[in-house]
A and B are shown apart, each in its own frame.
Chain A
Amino acid sequence: MNPSDLILAALLTPLAGALGIALAGRINHNLREAVTLVTAAVLAWAVWSLLPDIQAGGRPMLSVSEVLPGIAIAFKVEPLGMLFAALAASLWIINSVYSIGYMRGNNEQHQTRFYTCFAIALAAAMGIAFAANLFTLFLFYEILTLSTYPLVSHKGDEKTVRSARIYLGVLLTTSIGLLLPAIVWTYFVAGTGDFTPGGIVRGKLQGPEVGLLLGLFVFGVGKAAVMPVHRWLPAAMVAPTPVSALLHAVAVVKAGVFSITKIIVYIFGVDFLFAEPSSAWLLYLAAFTIIAASLVALRQTNLKRMLAYSTIAQLSYVVMAAAILKPLAEIGAAIHMVAHAFGKITLFFAAGAIYVASKKTELPQLRGIGRRMPWTMTAFTIGALSMIGVPPTAGFVSKWYILAGAFEADNYVAIATIICSTALNAAYFLPIVYYAWFAPETDGENNNHGEAPFFAVLALMITATLTIGFFLFNATALELERQLVGP
């Protein structure tokens, strides 16, 4: 297949899968799960088949239709989108394996709707990854929001619906109220919205206008959860754990930081933005979000809630790295997307496995759990170390690049933030790990449980392995992202 057919395949496979899942769900549950796994595998194959061409410097395109002169639905694969698509497609396979274990272990309702919406969300993520212009990006961004809403409100009880309302409300209003005007503005100023290396607004905007447009974009992309538009993320943790994994690692928040990075690199242009003082606020805001979210995470007693705040901090790492506006930092931003995805999906899988096996959700309940669930807690430990950035885990690699970029820019705010937040990360992750392994169990808890279902444990062991594996074998990703900043 030639590359543009592969793009089409990557977009249509999950949609066809969604249809297949909806139909198969009426016949047999095993068949439905088989369709999910086959779809995920085909999608991963399609996306990975694109890689050699991108590595060789190819930029395959697929133009679907021109809506208005200059506004088209078109797709173009570039290194950053390639990385995001490969990440989302690969993690979907593992996430599906885990979902099967989790959803069956918990006897959840409406499983067919769940898998169908999941597949549509993946199609939207592929659209975002490969979007060739802002218009296409926006379309798929909204589809992702709408298709994940039924997932977040899956349980359907009053509390869940209230949280889902925050989720939908924040993401829709920011995208329509801020992102859309920003996109329209860009089109009118630059005459195009195509993602172009070096940016498109250079010379078209100057002074405070640049900072303002950047602000519309950053807050408009609510999925990146930069404070103060972060509230939806802790709210959305009411969803089933596989959905949290989708939100936090596979697609949703990654789509947010991916969009921001892509906009900074391809719409503004790194050099242009670096020379423009009115854009400096973004770095400070991201730094503030990192510290503030880490402090909030420190005070949480609910495991998933703590992980949600940790995600907010980690997302702002990506935004801050992108806002350092130096080549090494941009590479760091891209790599951190991957590193955080591996680590955080492991942590969420572990949290879900604990819930399935023991129904425990609060941190104090986890004392001594390491002896009952050794596999799960081993994976959890690896994920936690990656969040802190300790070698040999994925988190170390990306922090290295972000720090290198910060030194290159002599940006002491960024350096201080990274040091501070590393300490804070350690402060909220290490006690959990310590107590889980070394503290005695508290009495009165439901301590009569063993490991989680096999599928769940299998999935989290794979992601933990990936977290370590990425520390050792990251050359492909790094080479790919060098193209992002280099010629």
Chain B
Amino acid sequence: MNLNEHLAALQIVVPLLAVPLIALLQLRRMAWLVATLTSLMAFAIAVAMTVGVLNGQDYQYFMGNWQPPYGIELRVDALSALLLLVITAASSAALLASYHSLDTQIEPRRHALFYAAWILALAGLSGIAVTADAFNVFVFMEISSLASYVLMAGGPDRRGLPAVFKYLILGTIGATFYLIGVGLIYMMTGTLNLEDMAQRVTQVADQKPVLAAAGFITVGLALKAAMFPLHLWLPNAYTYAPHVVTAFLAACATKVSLYVLLRFDFLVFQDNLVSHPLRFASLLMPMAIFAILIASAVAMFEKNIKRLLAWSSVAQIGYITLGASLVTVSGLTASVLHIFNHALAKGSLFLAVACLAMRLPGLQLRDLAGCARSMPWTFAALVLGGLSLIGVPGTAGFISKWYLISALLTLGAAGVALVAVIVIGSLMAVVYIWRIVEQAYFQAPSNPAAPAAEAPLTLLVVTWVAVLANVYFGLQPALPLALSSSAAAALMGATP
């Protein structure tokens, strides 16, 4: 038996098997240990597949050895590998951080169940990335969504419950829309395998149901991806979730939906619709522009650091969709690259927030006043993560913005206007990051209960590993660049 062939299946099977084990463990430290080890193992599998993909291997796995299009096919190419890296790395880092951070937020007796839900979410998210079957995507989407509702509702703040309820309703609508769309396509093509679907959709005589399906799928996934203006659930859900959960899900959850959207728009619909020259992805452009401008502007005036970063996430999703909406290889490269780089930046920022929350009574900006002195390492991490979010050279954020700008400048005058949007968005990012810096470094401590010490060492180490990854991939972007350019070429290859 060659282990390498089974990696794609193991990516889902390992966490799924670990879930009941963790749920049965009553000792919370043991539950944490098993969950973390599972996540790290998933990360190792993702790394192994990334190495394989970079060497030109294409992972294909037929569940139960049923050949596609009848059986479920798992498939890992560059795009999935990049996403798997993001998911498993974010999960591992956040789990390592949760050792200390979660104690203050969830009662010890619930820890085991909480970690079980976490690994279930990990399995669901990874499943979406590996599967090549449209209905299978829906199943994994439901697994990950249900698990993440549980995770997000687990925080001590009761305001989290209405926030999660809103997320649940909107997320369910999104998933239902997606399912309706898949149903319509299945009705017309008789297949659920994405690649098979792409071939058969051209032969469909009556295009109307397919167009309706495209609309349902796009809107449904846009809801799950919190694409402006369907982002309403995101700020509060991120704000009231336990801090490590925010770090985990902010780094990858919305991006997984974007991934499915890219697959559908570029593999299935783009150019396969007879007598419909319209390019679906390009419809995303106005939404992307509004997302960048409006969400950044809202972030500038936010008073809670987590909600500020959540709004910034909505804006950053705008950058990702803007790249995709150009429907060019360079635009898609920038887009996929930004999935990776934004996960790095936002993940490390939310980890730094988790560090803060260990020592601060609240997370309003005014609670940060003068804290940089007692928590120098945490705030240094926050500043570096912020620089990456802004897109300063030397950090990962610069690389994707650079590619986005170069993709835009091929468009002529319209491109220059879009570059202006990016510059304005980045300047607004300077403003909202500066507001944090301003409070932490330049205001006198407002309350006597200012933190006396740094965050626990393990938490700091994890945060700094994430921050330094931002710097590393800002100076040596070869790995994400190779993955995203080959992913972009593959996506565009379907639309010659």
Question: Which residues of A are interface residues toward B (Cβ below 8 A)?
Answer: 65, 67-68, 71, 73, 135, 138-139, 142, 158, 161-162, 164-165, 169, 172-173, 176-177, 180-181, 183-184, 188
Contact = CB atoms under 8 A, between A and B. Distances in A.
7 contacts: A67-B477, A68-B399, A68-B402, A73-B475, A142-B393, A161-B442, A183-B393
A169 B399 CA distance: 24
B477 A188 contact: no
A177 B393 contact: no
Contacts of B427: 176-177
Given A176-B392, A180-B393, A184-B402, A158 B430 contact: no
A65 B394 CA distance: 12
Given A65-B475, A67-B476, 18 more contacts: A67-B399, A73-B475, A135-B393, A139-B393, A139-B394, A164-B442, A169-B434, A173-B434, A176-B392, A176-B426, A176-B427, A176-B430, A177-B430, A180-B392, A180-B393, A181-B423, A184-B402, A188-B409
Contacts of B393: 135, 138-139, 142, 180, 183
B406 interface: yes
B444 to A, nearest CB: 7
A162 B430 contact: no
Contacts of B426: 176
A162 B438 CA distance: 10
Query: Which of A68, A142, A169 has the most chain B CB atoms inside 10 A of its CB?
Result: A68
B6 to A, nearest CB: 36
B133 to A, nearest CB: 36
Contact of B442 (A142, A165, A176, A180): A165
A138 B423 CA distance: 17
Contact of B444 (A71, A142, A158): A158
Contacts of A138: 393
A165 B477 contact: no
A231 B445 CA distance: 26
A193 B390 CA distance: 21
B138 interface: no
Interface residues of B, number: 23
A188 B405 contact: yes
A55 B394 CA distance: 33
B442 A162 contact: yes
B280 interface: no
Nearest to A165: B442
B345 to A, nearest CB: 15
Nearest to A149: B441
Nearest to A140: B394
Contacts of B423: 181
A176 to B, nearest CB: 6
Interface of B: 390, 392-394, 399, 402, 405-406, 409, 423, 426-427, 430, 434, 438, 441-442, 444, 474-477, 481
Contacts of B475: 65, 67, 73
Given A67-B475, A161-B442, A165-B438, A142 B402 contact: no
B442 A65 contact: no
Given A67-B476, A184-B405, A176 B399 contact: no
Contacts of A65: 475-476
Contact of B390 (A71, A139, A176): A176
Nearest to B474: A67
B422 to A, nearest CB: 10
Nearest to B370: A161
Contacts of B390: 176
Nearest to B429: A176
Contacts of A183: 393
B336 to A, nearest CB: 15
B163 to A, nearest CB: 33
Contacts of B438: 165
Nearest to B405: A184
A238 to B, nearest CB: 14
Nearest to A176: B430
Contacts of B434: 169, 172-173
A138 B427 CA distance: 17
A138 B474 CA distance: 14
A65 B402 CA distance: 17
A183 B405 CA distance: 13
B493 to A, nearest CB: 22
Query: Which A-B residue pairs are the 9 nearest by beta carbons?
Result: A165-B442, A139-B394, A138-B393, A176-B430, A188-B409, A67-B475, A177-B427, A161-B442, A181-B423
B444 A188 contact: no
Contacts of A139: 393-394
A406 B399 CA distance: 43
A176 B383 CA distance: 14
B406 A142 contact: no
Contacts of B402: 68, 71, 184
Nearest to B408: A188
A53 to B, nearest CB: 28
A180 B393 CA distance: 8
Contacts of A184: 402, 405
Nearest to B394: A139
B476 A142 contact: no
Contacts of A181: 423
Contact of B477 (A68, A135, A169, A172): A68
Nearest to A183: B393
Nearest to B442: A165
A457 B426 CA distance: 49
